[in-house]
Structure 1
Amino acid sequence: MPALLVLARFVWPLTLPLGIKAIIAVLLIAASQYHLWNRLSSGSVFSPEFPRPFVIAFNWAFGAILLLAMLVLVTDAILLLGRPVLGHWPVVPDEVRYATAGVAALLAAIGVANAIRVPPVKDITVAIAGLPRRFDGYRLVQLTDMHISRLFPARWTRAMVDRTNGLDADLIVITGDFIDGTLDARRVDVEPLRDLRARDGVWAIPGNHEYFFGYEDYMRHFAGMGMTILANRHGVLTRDGAALVLAGVTDASAPATGRPGPDLAAALAGAPADVPVVLLDHQPKNARNAAARGVALQLSGHTHGGMIAGLDRLVAGPNAGFVSGRYRIDGMTLYVNNGTALWPGFALRLGRPSELTRITLRRAD
């Protein structure tokens, strides 16, 4: 639909030969069908299996079409408001249209560049009531929505792992959506994750994309790489007799594949009483339930921060209003990470940067 809007309200009014317009139309339609080409390349809309430069180019063209369609709508709205004043429908010069297209193309290029970089470090501090003194200053690094794929291959994964290991974390947590593609296709690309290092290890939960590409195979593979998988389970971290509970749940999409859905009661069963709980839940929408169960801190991802400032409101509804950053919910802190990377089917970031998130825990007064 955005491509058809661009054709009707942008390309057709240009003073170009019909043959040139036809060529532009073919290119626009081809770029707009990026997800169809993904399905043909791999059998899944979520896993483009083209060479990386082609994936980057498709994301740029796809994004440019969407952004140009939005600018066309804004232009038409201005023209509509100006018509009663001028008494006729204003004519937009070709030079203005070309400039508009240039702005859309530039924004798309910036958006793709922001999306595919190794993310910068973002430091946040979270105060937790009842946090044992031995855990005051405890540092976690959260990775989420890495979507390791042709767009985020082994070279990107290695650079991200090296940057993560340089943060000297006590704990690394991964809150789902490791990959896009089957294990056979991604085996080399995920291999650098084996080298993640933290004093208390690497703990992880599945995201919705793991269920698209062989959940059991991936969880077994990641466990073999030294990760502790928290699928409706918890672990207890200790420091000189003091304790902190780390719990994790499966993804809300799991029941659709015949597998157990998120079960916080099961995850907390047998956990020591009066010990703060840090919960890993890929999707943030059930945060109020976690707060009601006494969780101190929930770490989530899934939303990619909304990807584009303003359009993030489209993401808010399905996620109970939780899109990006810190929220306080009945005494619990929810942190929704913008993502270490994002889905290669729409890799644009404008105003919603990726992040490598270092979280320092502090005792609340």
Structure 2
Amino acid sequence: GYFICCRLMHDKFKWRFNLVSGLIAAVALLQGFYGTYSQFEVPEIKVQRLEVNNLPSDLQGLRIVQLSDIHLGPTLKGEFLAGVVARVNELQPDVVLITGDLVDGTPEKMLPEFAAFKDLKATYGIYAVSGNHEYYSGFRQWQPLFEELGLNFLHNRSVSIQVGSSAINVAGVPDRRAAGFGFAGADVQQALSKLDPNAAYTILMTHEPPLALETAGQADLVLSGHTHGGTMFFLQPIVGYFNADFVSGFYELPKGGRLYVSNGTGVWSGFPCRVGVSAEITCFVLTKAQS
């Protein structure tokens, strides 16, 4: 009788274990399907307000939109970019900043997919830096084509953007892999060497977050991408390990200034899935800090 009872108990727990395991597997599978399907949808706007001490009135409410890691290629096509452009234009941005990884593919295959960039509007211009995938896709061919579409690449240099009687600095560096493809490598200090000293705010663009540690407090805000926010929430510690613990959102930099790491606007075709980490179009709004 004892052995029969044990066998019945074993079968009962085994049945429950198999049921729970099956439910967990089903939920994980559904999350995976949803995480892949949702990447074809245009991301929502994430608004981030930047409080700035002594902000001039000309810069009050200035809207700066960041796009990052769009990754047009085998997975995301021109229709996705057109949706992104339409959503950005609704914001009536003053400046658009693109922090790399626009494309996965050669101009011969992918150039028609970027036609919507001609419709992207920003009062004071559209600026960009390269990501690692630009070099894998042939950046020497892509750069002049992107520039014809209205993108201005800031590689180891800066511009002063005049807004009324005030100004902001926008600087940028290429991806760290640039030197391996015959381009000048990333030089943060060179990028920040000719800033307008009268500008009220300075932004540096870099595709990979760790380069923010080289700013030495010379930038008020560093914008980056590359990490996709970790892609899946449980992978964030691993992604952080390879990116100086910078994965998603705001970070205070040790020598001053802040870093913002975008979750990315698109998704890489090599791993087209997100779980618990939403893609984003980020809109930063400058506001005067309350005294």
Distance 1:134 1:197 in 2: 20
Q: Which residue of 2 aligns with 1:180?
A: 104
Q: Which residue of 1 aligns with 2:276?
A: 351
Distance 1:337 1:362 in 2: 20
Q: 1:293 to 1:262 in 2, by over 3 A?
A: farther
Q: Which residue of 1 aligns with 2:287?
A: 362
**1:357 CA displacement:** 0.8
Question: How many residue pairs get matched?
Answer: 277
- Matching residue's letter, 2:267: L
Spell out, residue by residue over 1:231-264, the C-alpha distance to the aligned partner (whole angstroms, 9 max, x if none). 1111110122211111011111212223211112
Are residue 110 (structure 1) and residue 34 (structure 2) matched?
yes
Q: Normalised by the size of structure 1, how large is the TM-score?
A: 0.72
- Matching residue's letter, 1:360: V
- 1:155 paired residue among 60, 79, 100: 79
Q: Which residue of 1 aligns with 2:231?
A: 307
Q: Normalised by the size of structure 2, how large is the TM-score?
A: 0.89
Distance 2:195 2:18 in 1: 67
In the TM superposition, structure 1's runs of 4+ consecutive aligned residues that sit over 6 Å from their partners are none
RMSD, aligned CA: 1.9
Mapped contact 1:285–1:318 kept (Cα < 8 A): no
**1:323 CA displacement:** 0.5
Q: Which residue of 2 aligns with 1:213?
A: 137
**1:144-293 pair list within 5 angstroms:** 144-275=68-199, 276-290=201-215, 292-293=216-217
**1:218 CA displacement:** 1.1
User: Percent of pairs identical after alignment?
Assistant: 35
**1:317-336 pair list within 5 angstroms:** 317-329=241-253, 330-336=255-261
Q: Which segment is superposed worse, 271-280 or 137-146?
A: 271-280
Mapped contact 1:114–1:353 kept (Cα < 8 A): no
**1:130 CA displacement:** 4.9
Q: 1:99 to 1:273 in 2, by over 3 A?
A: same
Which has the bigger relative contact order, CA under 8 A and spacing at least 6? Answer: 2
* Structure with greater strand share of residues: 2
**1:156 CA displacement:** 1.0
- Matching residue's letter, 1:120: E
**1:133 CA displacement:** 2.8
Q: Which residue of 1 aligns with 2:5?
A: none
- Matching residue's letter, 2:161: L
Mapped contact 1:157–1:190 kept (Cα < 8 A): yes
Q: Which residue of 2 aligns with 1:38?
A: none
Structure 1: any 5+ residue segments left out of the alignment?
A: 1-85
Q: Which residue of 2 aligns with 1:142?
A: 66
Distance 2:288 2:140 in 1: 38
**1:1-20 pair list within 5 angstroms:** none
Spell out, residue by residue over 1:142-194, the C-alpha distance to the aligned partner (whole angstroms, 9 max, x if none). 10000011211011111111111111111111110001111111111111112
* Structure with greater helix share of residues: 1
Distance 2:151 2:195 in 1: 20
- 1:338 paired residue among 236, 254, 263: 263
Distance 1:132 1:321 in 2: 34
